[in-house]
Amino acid sequence: MRRGAVLGIVMITPALLASGCGLFENHTIRVEVTGAGTAEEIFYSFPGQATTGRTAEYTANSPGALRHVRLPWSASATTGFGFVDVTTTATGPVSCTIIVDGRTVLRRHSTDDHGVQCHYSVQGS
């Protein structure tokens, strides 16, 4: 039984890699925040980076934690699969957008003073 399972894994793994499942591909990711004036705060992270949002790990000096940012604002990275986050607070309507390999995959809008959050899972193609 065990030998059959190991043999199955040995045979399937090369097939998945050869099929271009995208697990080990890099992606060009861009996050954008748009609106009028400035954002009070912007927190963002790309796959492979520590979460920089409002968590126990957050400090004002964390990479990906910005204050009083003139809009529009954007950041880009080339990374593998994982989660992309951007959260912002502003004193008016604001939008966040996540673009992966030139394709807009998520856009959210806020019409109040509470801000907006975009969260997306980048997976293989």
Query: Residue 46 sits in which domain range?
Result: 25-122
Distance of alpha carbon 82 from alpha carbon 14, whole angstroms: 22
Q: Is residue 58 one of the residues assigned to a domain? A: yes
Distance of alpha carbon 27 from alpha carbon 45, whole angstroms: 14
Binned at pLDDT 50, 70 and 90, residue 111 comes out as confident
pLDDT in tens, 33-47: 999 888 999 999 888
Distance of alpha carbon 122 from alpha carbon 27, whole angstroms: 8
For the entire predicted model, the pTM comes to: 0.73
Q: Is residue 90 one of the residues assigned to a domain? A: yes
Domain at 111, CATH number: 2.60.40
Computed over every residue of the chain, the mean pLDDT equals: 78
| Position 53 pLDDT exceeds 50 | no
Binned at pLDDT 50, 70 and 90, residue 119 comes out as very high
